[in-house]
Structure 1
Amino acid sequence: MKVVAVEEHASTEAFLRVAHGLDVLPGDELEMTSMRTVETAPGFRARLVDLGVRLREMDALGQDMAVLSLNPPGVQPYAAADAVPLAREFNDALAAIVRRHPARFGGLATVAPQDPAAAAAEIERAMGPLGLNGVMINSHTGGRYLDEPEFAPLLAAAQAHRAPIYLHPRVPSMLAAYRDHGLPGAIWGYQAEAGLHAMRLILSGTLDRYPGLTVVLGHLGEGIPYWLRRIDNRHAFAARTAGAATPMPRLSLTPSEYFRRNFVLTTSGIDDPDVLGLALRAVGEDNVMFAIDHPYEDPAAAMAFLRATPLSDQQRTAIAHRTAERVFGLAPPGVSAKDTGTPT
């Protein structure tokens, strides 16, 4: 069985050396103090930057390919003047990695939403000359979300260049309520933040303006599949009775229809057959992809889950590689992206 994992974080020594010397935007200090501590730890840093070790690990586990992305939260905690060139430099390095190992690595570009016009230009460059496979955005940027009007150039570029946006979690922008008890990170805050961002895209009417946009959510949908029936029910009630706390745009579809049309889910970090079954029923096998969340999760455990969880052959094939090949334009060995109908 061919296996492609699609939320696999990496970095370079050059990126870390520069980024760790930059001032952090107000409000992002807690997250970046924690992340810089992690990135400085020798064992963890090696797992981010040493691709030779990663390839040997992939070979040992039978993982064919990894779609690499910059370790979160990317360049988003930095001033635009620093973030824009830093994103370009990392994307150049990532594209070089993919060119050296085209059968083993794909790549998701990083962009600086702080400068939406520059981010749009970088999406065009990433999907064109650099030959990358999409873009990763680490949820909010300075507490701002992609449904807000200032980000229209970024979303327009993503749609125009068929760049799927992997909407990755980060520490919530509304930090005060999450500050204690380990809540800001992956225990709870990450999924709450990414789920909020996805729901803003749905309920704001953004996906009516950009119907061709593809948004990828990790962790089997950041909790949204569990709530879809209630979301539809309460949205219809609020629209019918004017019972929403804030004004609601008129939508062309129900919230769940946008979720099924525009979103693709990954298994990153949730090796639970019951949750996977719920996700499959919510969006279908052609909209679920395998991911490990390297280096934060155990690759061996994730691979064992993919192989052992009860699935039909068709479902397992779709999750293991077929959906990723379609969404990210990853050509099977010996086949060009053009031949598969995916964007080049």
Structure 2
Amino acid sequence: MTIDVHGHLSPPESLRRYPMPRSLGDADAMIETKLAAGVDLTIIGSPVGGGAMVPLPGVDNYAQTEEELARFHDWLGDLVARHPDHLRAYVYVNPFGGDAHLAAVRARLADDGFAGLIANSSVAGRYLDHPDAADFFALAAETGAPVLLHAPAAPAAGTGLADLMAVEQLGRFADVTIGLACCVLGGWLERHPRLRLIGQGAGGALALLAEKLDRAWSPEHWQRDRGPRPGPATPPLPRPPSAYLHRLWVDTATPSAAAVELALRVFGPDKVLYGTDSPPLPGGSVTEGLRLVDGLGIPETDRQAVREGNARALFGARLPPPAPAPSRA
């Protein structure tokens, strides 16, 4: 069995209102394509709720009302209920959404079919090291719900990029990198031992930056010169930031085998999850992703962990049980 922890589907209302790939509206085709490739279960969600992933003038994804989000989650829950063996879903959450929003998120997490949370790596230009995200992280830790940190439609790291493809392939990649780093530097993993964060796309470039994180935590050039350190102080951590990287999960939704190999080494073979970002990426990305995982020079036990075991360990009873092995006559 293979579990895909990173897929998307959008409701008919969003497909009518906003430009987006039509594949996001065809759950049956997604399931059939993945089953044909050997992927049995997909955890789906939307990083914009019922909004638009393409930045559009006058469209503010963070201005969705609780009623609008409730309709979106009702649709998502109904979709999972129609395909209980092949789908689970993420609850969309705005980390800065306030008490009423977080209460609605908590209630939705109790519904059958919802396996975790999906949140943006930056929100309207703010990263999640901001103190206003404290209640969100406390909720995620208390419930034990895994959080897929996904780049937003308009990433803070994409500021100044005019071309949509540059935003999509570069700005969002950089946003996940910085967003995860801010979660570490902000002390959320230190404060919440039960916090479970998943970085999309192998965690961006974070696996390359362990030493840079430690320099951000302890800047030798400022200490040596004894000059005043500019900017707001980073919350103190008792250990170097690199010591927290093994607490993060990442998915394989990247075309780079080198990125996945580095993720296995830095985060650990028990922290890498098979993911495709399909839809919207076409069905071919599913087989390409499986070939990437199968081509890694790792033990077969680690390969099976990436394909299924790590997701089961992370999401636990929120996932349907594996199908029983066929009996031998």
Shorter chain as denominator, the TM-score bin is: 0.7 to 0.9
Q: 1:177 aligns with which of 160, 172, 186?
A: 160
Partner of 1:285: 269
Partner of 1:97: 79
The CA deviation at 1:131 is 4.1
1:270 aligns with 2:252: no
What's the Cα RMSD here? 2.5
Per mean C-alpha deviation after superposition, the further-off stretch among 81-90 and 234-243 is 234-243
Partner of 1:323: 310
1:252 aligns with 2:238: yes
The alpha-carbon distance between structure 1 residues 181 and 13, as it changes in their structure 2 partners (threshold 3 A), is closer
1:234-249 → structure 2 map (5 Å cutoff): 235-238=217-220, 241=224, 244-246=229-231, 247-249=233-235
Q: When the two structures are superposed, what TM-score results if normalisation uses the length of structure 1? A: 0.81
For 2:109 and 2:304, the matched residues in 1 are separated by 26
**2:168 is aligned with what amino acid?**
G
Listed one character per residue, the Cα deviations across residues 146-197 of structure 1 (whole Å, up to 9, x for unaligned) are: 22222222221111111111110133225543335953221x1111112111
For 2:266 and 2:196, the matched residues in 1 are separated by 16
For 1:181 and 1:131, the matched residues in 2 are separated by 33
Listed one character per residue, the Cα deviations across residues 44-75 of structure 1 (whole Å, up to 9, x for unaligned) are: 21x11111111211121111111111264754
1:288-307 → structure 2 map (5 Å cutoff): 288-294=272-278, 295-296=280-281, 298-307=285-294
Partner of 2:187: 205
For 2:102 and 2:263, the matched residues in 1 are separated by 31
Per mean C-alpha deviation after superposition, the further-off stretch among 177-186 and 124-133 is 177-186
1:61 aligns with 2:48: no
The CA deviation at 1:223 is 0.3
Q: When the two structures are superposed, what TM-score results if normalisation uses the length of structure 2? A: 0.84
The alpha-carbon distance between structure 1 residues 180 and 78, as it changes in their structure 2 partners (threshold 3 A), is closer
Partner of 2:68: 86
The CA deviation at 1:271 is 4.0
Per mean C-alpha deviation after superposition, the further-off stretch among 312-321 and 108-117 is 108-117
The CA deviation at 1:291 is 0.5
Partner of 1:14: 13
The CA deviation at 1:286 is 0.8
1:147 aligns with 2:129: yes
SS at match of 1:137: strand
Partner of 2:55: none
The alpha-carbon distance between structure 1 residues 74 and 197, as it changes in their structure 2 partners (threshold 3 A), is farther
Contact kept, 8 Å, 2:48 with 2:61, in 1: the verdict is no
Q: 1:332 aligns with which of 300, 321, 324?
A: 321
Listed one character per residue, the Cα deviations across residues 288-308 of structure 1 (whole Å, up to 9, x for unaligned) are: 000111122522211222233
The alpha-carbon distance between structure 1 residues 321 and 110, as it changes in their structure 2 partners (threshold 3 A), is same
Unaligned runs of 5+ in 1: 21-35, 336-344
Contact kept, 8 Å, 2:157 with 2:174, in 1: the verdict is no
Alignment coverage as a number of residue pairs: 308
